[in-house]
Amino acid sequence: GDFVWNDANANGRQDGGEAGLGGITVTLYRQGFGADGIAGNPDDSLAVATTTTTSGGAYSFSGLRPGIYQVNFGALAGYSRTLADQGNDFGDSDADAATGSVSSINLTPGLINNTVDAGYYQASSIGNFVWNDTNANGQQDSGETGLSGVSVTLYRPGFGADGIAGNPDDSLAVAITSSDVNGAYGFSGLRPGTYEISFGTPSGYNRTFANVGDDVSDSDASIINGTTGSIVLAPGSTDNSIDAGFYQAGSISGTVLADIDNNDSGDEPVSGVTLTLKDASGNDIDSDSLASGVQPTTTVTDSSGAYIFVNLLPGSYRIVETQPSGYLSVGDVDGANNNTIGDESPVIVAAGQAVTGRNFVEEQPGTVAGHLYIDTNGNQTQDSGEPDLEGVDVVITQSNGATITVTTNGDGNWSALVPPGT
């Protein structure tokens, strides 16, 4: 006989301050002989004796015949059996964690074996909710529903599934599950200790922001890798606050094209044009939250003049074009002819929406130039001594009525870039 105890830290060893457990059933067997000690009788597979532990966790069987015995320790509500054989016979647990049995106990004549012990720990649990964060604010808002089929993996770093430090499985998963039809998930029967949870990313979704509210209603999964921070489970505890939110990403796309026939619509692609994504107020959107400062979110048009911004949160955006060298802007939208340079009107992106057709049109300008002076003798030639005219406004009027104004310089010269036309 000996001792059944509360292995509070579930390490399989009898540590200081860990108390005995009373009322646990302990059953003794002698396979092939049974209680009567005679081989071949009907009781050969039956128990030799049964007892329960005292309030201090002690038990014993006495008056036994020499032979090979087996001890079985019963279940205890709210507890699980601890790891077996984690130390010396006087200070560890001998009962198999799954079956509660200790086999092949050899009692020679007159032997007293008080080293057959069993440890139990109060099992803990963890879990809760995976949801569609439709507005991508990191909070579980009214009307946002659960996501089913999302993979959820539980880790206990440094211990692994077997709960023993120093084994090859220390970095491997303890358990894997997936969220149910309501977005719920859970792990139970866990040893006390420090855990992490990693959430897979469902197709078509991105991770939402983490830790922007209270633990009950926010997302705990890192937006970078989907893994939580350390979660400490005390003996017998339940933590149902570990949630993960995902949103359906949107996109904005369009083209930058050159108008070569002066009809204010795009005809030929302009590649290598830089476009910058900003919020509705014109502030840069950070493309790298890990780097210091704001890293503007930019893209460049391809050989077909196309561009796209992907993985966008729902919300309102503005696109700013860096005006390509050698071109004039016709308009924000193909055919608009409003000559607004490099600034797209706000674009609203709903969850999962692909906004298309946000186009820019450019024109390759010509040059009109001239010279102003005072022709004092009226011969239409600038003769020596006839002064240049500085600071005079020159207005160029296009056939559609649009005007361009330039001013002469100190030498009387002026020039202007003008779109194709008359």
Give residue 316's Cα distance to chain centre: 23
Does position 334 have pLDDT exceeding 50, yes or no? no
Q: Is residue 41 a contact partner of residue 53, using CB atoms and an 8 Å limit?
A: no
pLDDT digits (tens, 9 = 90+) for 160-195: 888 888 888 888 999 999 999 999 999 998 999 999
Q: What is the pLDDT of residue 332?
A: 52
Instruction: Compare 247 and 366 and report the one with higher pLDDT.
Output: 247
> 283-292, 298-307, 325-334, 335-344 — which is least confidently predicted?
335-344
pLDDT digits (tens, 9 = 90+) for 26-53: 999 998 998 899 998 989 889 999 999 9
> Alpha carbon of 71 to those of 19, 43, 86, 192: distances in Å?
21, 17, 18, 26
What does pLDDT average to over the chain?
A: 89
Q: What mean pLDDT is predicted for residues 230-242?
A: 95
Can you list the alpha helix ranges (DSSP code H) found in 367-418? none
Percent of the chain with pLDDT over 90: 65
Say which residue the tokens 């991105």 belong to.
206
Q: What is the pLDDT of residue 222?
A: 95
pLDDT classification of 339: cutoffs 50, 70, 90? very low
Q: What is the pLDDT of residue 335?
A: 41
Selection from 421, 375, 366 nearest residue 398 by Cα: 421
Does position 291 have pLDDT exceeding 80, yes or no? no
Domains within the chain, CATH numbers bracketed:
1-122 (2.60.40.10), 124-248 (2.60.40.10), 250-363 (2.60.40.10), 366-418 (no CATH)
DSSP 214-250: -TTTB--S-TTTSB---EEE-TT-EE----EEEEE-E
Q: Is residue 419 a contact partner of residue 363, using CB atoms and an 8 Å limit?
A: yes
Does position 400 have pLDDT exceeding 60, yes or no? yes
Q: Is residue 138 a contact partner of residue 210, using CB atoms and an 8 Å limit?
A: yes
Q: What mean pLDDT is predicted for residues 4-10?
A: 92
Q: What mean pLDDT is predicted for residues 1-10?
A: 92
DSSP 341-362: -SBPPPEEE-TT-EE----EEE
Q: What is the pLDDT of residue 344?
A: 65
Selection from 151, 343, 138 nearest residue 245 by Cα: 138
Say which residue the tokens 């499985």 belong to.
169
Can you list the alpha helix ranges (DSSP code H) found in 154-193? none
Within 8 A by CB and 6+ apart from 168, the residues are none
Q: Which residues of 372-403 are buried (b: 16+ CB within 10 A; e: fewer)?
A: beeeeeeeeebeeeeebeeeeebeeeeeeeee
Within 10 A of 291 (CB to CB), how many other CB atoms are there? 9
pLDDT classification of 336: cutoffs 50, 70, 90? very low
Within 10 A of 276 (CB to CB), how many other CB atoms are there? 17
Q: What is the pLDDT of residue 288?
A: 65
Handedness of CA 257, 258, 259, 260 (dihedral sign): negative
Say which residue the tokens 């003996």 belong to.
235
Give residue 258's Cα distance to chain centre: 41
**pTM of this prediction?**
0.70
Within 8 A by CB and 6+ apart from 49, the residues are 27, 28, 35, 61
Distance CA 133, CA 131 (A): 6
